[in-house]
Structures are given as structure tokens and as C-alpha cells.
């Protein structure tokens, strides 16, 4: 059995919705660095505010006394679409399960790829077609 780290919005230490504070806790880096990167996305890419709102909607809120450990009991190494935790086709959930990371991180990566390179949408559709369901 192995415990997964889970990405939460840390509203107790956050400035707006706790997205940057939660990311800094998850990645184990200084919150100022995460906020600086977010500002750079806002100034140079123009999508920082939009991404923050999406992240605030996607990432669950961590309550003060809540301690959650998710235990992965399966040792299946195949990359599949996780239909149990799917939002659309389960691609992001399947990737997160395979690499033992939080699904919110994978969704944010696909969102960034889709907004900045348009490759994220194409890649998501291709993976939805070729990956088997769990």
C-alpha cells in the first residue's frame, strides 16, 4: 500500500481561494514562487486569471481538521482511462492514477496545453480514442 499526495486549495493560508497556497504545499515549494509564476502567466500569457478561476473550481478545498490519505490497493501498471473518476472521458484520471499524482494537476496541464498550444485538445482526443477503459 502506498499513500498518494492530494492537491487541495489551502484557504486557511491563501490570499484569494487558496490555489497558490495549496499548490505550494503539494509541490513543497515557497508560495511566493507559485504566486510569481501565476503573475507571469497573467501578464505574458493573458490566461492567468482564467486559469486561477478554473483551478479554484477544479481543486477541492481542504478543511482545517481534515486529514486524508488515499490508499491505492491495485498494482496495475497499465495506462487506462479511469471511468470511475472521469469528468469527460477519464483520460486525466487515468494518467493521474497511473503516475500516482493528483488528478487536478493533470487536468491543469491539459488545460494549459489546450490554451497555449492547442495540442492539449488534440492529445486528449487521441488518448481518449486509444486508451482502454479500466
Q: 68-83, pLDDT tens digit by residue?
A: 554 455 555 678 888 8
Position 67 scores a pLDDT of 54
Neighbouring CB atoms inside 10 A of 126's CB total 11
CA-nearest of 91, 96, 134, 98 to 114 is: 91
Position 1 scores a pLDDT of 44
| pLDDT tens-digit readout, 49-61 | 777 888 788 878 8
| pLDDT tens-digit readout, 9-64 | 777 777 788 888 888 888 888 777 777 777 777 777 677 777 788 878 887 887 66
> Could you tell me the three cell numbers for 111?
488545460
- Residue-range domain boundaries for the chain: 1-72, 74-134
Amino acid at each position: 500500500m502506498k499513500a498518494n499526495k492530494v492537491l487541495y486549495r489551502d484557504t486557511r493560508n491563501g490570499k484569494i481561494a487558496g490555489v497558490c497556497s495549496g499548490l505550494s504545499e503539494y509541490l513543497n515549494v515557497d508560495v511566493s514562487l507559485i504566486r510569481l509564476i501565476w503573475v507571469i502567466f497573467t501578464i505574458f500569457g493573458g490566461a492567468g486569471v482564467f486559469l486561477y478561476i478554473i483551478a479554484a473550481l477544479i481543486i477541492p478545498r481542504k478543511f482545517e481538521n481534515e486529514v486524508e490519505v488515499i490508499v491505492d490497493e491495485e498494482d496495475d501498471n497499465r495506462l487506462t482511462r479511469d471511468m470511475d473518476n472521469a469528468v469527460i472521458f477519464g483520460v486525466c484520471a487515468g494518467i493521474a492514477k497511473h503516475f500516482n499524482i493528483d488528478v487536478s494537476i493533470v487536468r491543469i496541464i491539459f488545460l494549459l496545453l489546450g490554451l497555449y498550444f492547442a495540442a492539449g485538445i488534440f492529445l486528449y482526443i487521441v488518448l481518449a480514442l486509444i486508451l482502454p477503459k479500466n
